[in-house]
Structures are given as C-alpha cells and as structure tokens.
Amino acid sequence: MARLDVTETFHGITFPGHLHTQDSLQSALRFPFQDTDILIVSYPKSGTTWMQEIVTLICNRGDPHVCQTVPNWTRAPWLEQHYCAMVLEKYPLNPRVITTHLPQHLLEPALQGSKAKVIYVSRNPKDVVVSYYHFCKMAKFFPDPGSFQDFLNQFLDGRSYYGSWFDHVKGWTRQTETMSNLLHITYEEMSLDPHCAVEKISAFLQRPLVEEELNSCLKHSSFSSMKNNTMVNCTLISPEIMDHSKGCFMRKGELGNWKSLFTDEQNQHFESVFSSRMQDCSLKFVWDL
C-alpha cells in the first residue's frame, strides 16, 4: 500500500503534510487560548496519548466513560491539525484539553499572558527514537523510516518530523523556569511511580481526587487498559493510513526498551551527541530500570 507522506515545511521544521497544512500550522500559532484550557505538549512518542488519558480521567474524577467512548483525537485534539477548530466547535469540551507537538518558540506568542495550564511530557530520547522508528513503519503519513541507523542519524541531526528533539526539550524546559502554569513531567516518572504522577498532575490542574477516584485513574490509564481501549490504541484508524500489520501503536510501554535495538556503537555515538547537545540543560533522564 502506498505511503501518504507529503512533507510540509514550516519555520524550518518538517511536518507530516497529511495532517498539517500551512494554514493549520499558522492558525495554531495564533490560537486564542482560554484561561481554563489544558494544553498537553510533547515531542512525538514521549507519552502524549498516556497523558491525554490521564488528564481526561482526572477531569472526569476517574470515571472512564469518556475515555472509553470518545477517541483521543476528539477529546484532546491536536492544535496543529487541520481538524482542530472544527472539533472544538462541534464537541464542546469542558475544560478544553488540547494537544500539541509544536516547539516552545512557535507557541510562545499564543501562550503569552495566558493562564492555560500547560503540561509538558518528556521521555528519555533513546526510548523516544526507538518508539518513533516503530511508529513510522506503521504510520503511512510518515516517510518509510528505512534502517534504524538512518533513522537514528536523522533524529540526532534534528531532521525528524516535528524537528529536533534536543531543541524541543530544551525550549520547553527553559519555559518551565519562567512559567508558573507549566508542569514538566517525564514518562519515566509516570512509569516508576504512576500514583505519585497522577497525584502531581491532579494537584497541578487543581482537581484533587479522593483515593478511589485516583485508583480508577490509575487502572484506566495503565498500559494494559489502554492497549485494549480502541479509543486510544489507533485500531480505529484505517489500514490505508496506519498499517496495523507492521505493528501496534500501544507497542511495549517500557522504560529502557531502546536496548532492544541500539548496538553498542550506536549507544556510544548517541551518548556523545547527547552530552554535547545537552550541556546547557540541567534535565536528567532515567535510561532504564
């Protein structure tokens, strides 16, 4: 089956043109945020869908009904996708939960002065690149990833769709230092202590939960629940757009899965690029269990 990848270049960053147009990207930059909005921000494959599920559950006090009946792209639409405005108009959400993969410098003007609550999710980049590689094999709106070596080089050079992982993480991390309505949480924190992570997110959103509600959030946002939830596991997406024979969107959900693909040589090269690109950033990642 043919790939649907058309590259859209915007502010020097490449995007999948099947999902984003110049107009939709431009509109994202001028988006009129409301103070009650919740914005989930991440680099692809960092736990975006997981956070969408957690936030939806918290906003519904642990009740899974919305998670189990409304696809994530409707209940937490992507700001930069061409259908975002239509979804927000057609399905009024309260609060509005919006998702984006855009880098901080592009969203800064739209967020200036806004009290919208922003949650930035980051993940250790070795697991991101492995997850991204597998995803690109199945998602036909991305170019064929080729060999893992080629894909890794592209990632380290900042040539992946949605831009450089390093610039993304550093931009949003810098923003955390100055923006009080921004919570930065990592995939690893969520994996290692989901109870504490959900508590932290609900406190940030000023939506405290009683123990029973919190336990329900944990149950319904667990990897096994989400893997079986057709509203988030991408199985509703047609095979012309996502080739399900090439893999699963809810693939492994593991911390340290990069070890399944990286060679020692690739790891050494990665570490040297990482330490040079991240020397001006204090962020520390957990790489494995």
Dihedral sign, CA of 216, 219, 223, 228? negative
Q: What is the 3-state secondary structure (H, E, C) of the chain?
A: CCCCCCEEEECCEEEECCCCCHHHHHHHHCCCCCCCCEEEEECCCCCHHHHHHHHHHHHCCCCCHHHHHCCHHHHCCECCCCCHHHHHHHCCCCCCEEEECCCHHHHHHHHCCCCCEEEEEECCHHHHHHHHHHHHHHECCCCCCCCHHHHHHHHHCCCCCCCCHHHHHHHHHHHHHHCCCEEEEEHHHHHHCHHHHHHHHHHHCCCCCCHHHHHHHHHHCCHHHHHCCCCCCCCCCCCCCECHHHCCCCCCCCCCHHHHCCCHHHHHHHHHHHHHHCCCCCCCCCCCC
Q: CB of 154: closest distance to ligand A3P in angstroms?
A: 18
60 lines the binding site for ligand A3P (CB under 6 A): no
Annotated catalytic residue, options 101, 134, 168, 184: 101
Asked if 223 is part of the footprint of ligand A3P (rule: CB under 6 A), the reply reads yes
Binding segment for ligand A3P (CB under 6 A), chosen from 58-66, 146-154, 220-228, 280-288, is 220-228
Print the binding letters for residues 82-121 with ligand A3P: x by CB under 6 A, - otherwise.
----------------------------------------
Binder among 205, 252, 261, 274 for ligand A3P (CB under 6 A): 252
By CB under 6 A, tell whether 46 contacts ligand A3P.
yes
Residue 82 annotated to the active site: no
Q: Considering only residues 44, 64, 103, 125, which one is a binding residue for ligand A3P as defined by CB under 6 A?
A: 44
> Least separation, in Å, of the C-beta of 226 and ligand A3P?
5
Q: Is 48 in the site for ligand A3P (CB under 6 A)?
A: yes
Cis peptide before 239 (omega within 30 of 0): no
145 lies in the binding site for ligand A3P (CB under 6 A): no
CB of 11 to ligand A3P, least distance (A): 21
Stretch that binds ligand A3P, among 10-18, 62-70, 79-87, 249-257 (CB under 6 A): 249-257
Q: Does 141 bind ligand A3P (CB under 6 A)?
A: no
For ligand A3P, the closer of residues 84 and 114 by Cβ is 84
Region binding ligand A3P by CB under 6 A among candidate stretches 33-41, 48-56, 57-65, 278-286: 48-56
Angle at 39 between CA 33 and CA 41, to 5 degrees: 130
Q: List residues with catalytic annotation.
A: 101
Judged by the rule CB under 6 A, the positions of this chain that interact with ligand A3P are 42, 44-50, 127, 131, 134, 221-223, 226, 250-253, 257
